[in-house]
Amino acid sequence: MSGEIHKTAIISQDASIGKNVIVGPYAVIEGPVVLGDDVYIGSHCVVEGHTQLGKGCQVYSHAVIGSPPQDKKHKHKDMVQLVVGDYNIFREYVTVNPGTVEGGGRTTIGTNNLFMACSHVAHDCHIGSDCTLANYVGLSGHVSIEDRAIIGGLSGVHQFGRVGYLSMIGGCSKVNQDVPPFGMVDGNPATLRGLNIVGLKRANLPSETLLALRRVYKILFNSGLARSNALAQVKDQVKNFPEVKRLIEFIQTSKRGIS
């Protein structure tokens, strides 16, 4: 182990610390924590439990990563995990919980995500890569977030909710149903406002794909057709686009309904 460990930091003998790790003043690394190479832990942070942080992760002051799940069924002896990929940023006062036995025992986070100050990831959540959770976002238990999603500040996502690929949720939204891929939702309760056009352009999707998604959204959400009939029409009229296939599969597997 090399790097810079402040003399006031408390690090468990059970912890595994990679190369070039920085741990700031009064930070606590408690239990069998695994920190990858080049991890930064700021002052007064707590990382605990069966938590793994991939290389290059940054944890800023007063964040608490890996604390026990906020679930009455959880027992202190339960073997549960938090597995975090590479290059994630956890800003000040962020909290992230591991899974629960009932939920599969694991919370997972991919790579290159930004968790802005005071956001919260509850037990048994599964977050992809390249996502942004703005300030004070709250994810309830068992929430799934697909890659490249953006959630605006002060928004909350209901238990077992899903947020689709390249979607965007406006600030102060109450998300109690699934957010479809490529969509933009806003409000209380959150309702679909159309395609996430800015996000799609930033993703450099071809113009043909954008036109296809516009057509699909019009059929699915503005035609007045029953959902089954709308999906059948999309399958018949818009083909050979993997983005359209992703959207259809997401809708067909939704259990909470679509916002």
Residue 99: active-site member: no
Given the residues 38, 124, 178, 186, select the one marked as catalytic: 124
Contacts of 117 (CB under 8 A, 6+ apart): 60, 91, 92, 93, 94, 135, 136
Given the residues 24, 42, 110, 141, select the one marked as catalytic: 141
What phi and psi values does residue 216 have, to the nearest 5 degrees? -65, -45
Question: CA-CA distance, 32 to 15, in Å (whole number)?
Answer: 5
Residue 141: active-site member: yes
Please check whether residue 69 is in contact with residue 50, taking contact to mean a CB–CB distance below 8 angstroms.
Answer: no
Both tokens assigned to 26:
């009064």
Q: Hey, which residues does 157 pair with through a beta bridge?
A: 139, 175
Please check whether residue 133 is in contact with residue 115, taking contact to mean a CB–CB distance below 8 angstroms.
Answer: yes
Q: Hey, which residues does 179 pair with through a beta bridge?
A: 163
Both tokens assigned to 87:
């290059």
Contacts of 92 (CB under 8 A, 6+ apart): 60, 61, 62, 63, 117, 118
Given the residues 123, 126, 142, 158, select the one marked as catalytic: 123
Residue 50: active-site member: no
Contacts of 13 (CB under 8 A, 6+ apart): none
CA 109, 210, 239, 177: dihedral to nearest 10 degrees?
50
Query: Which are the catalytic amino acids?
Result: 123-124, 141
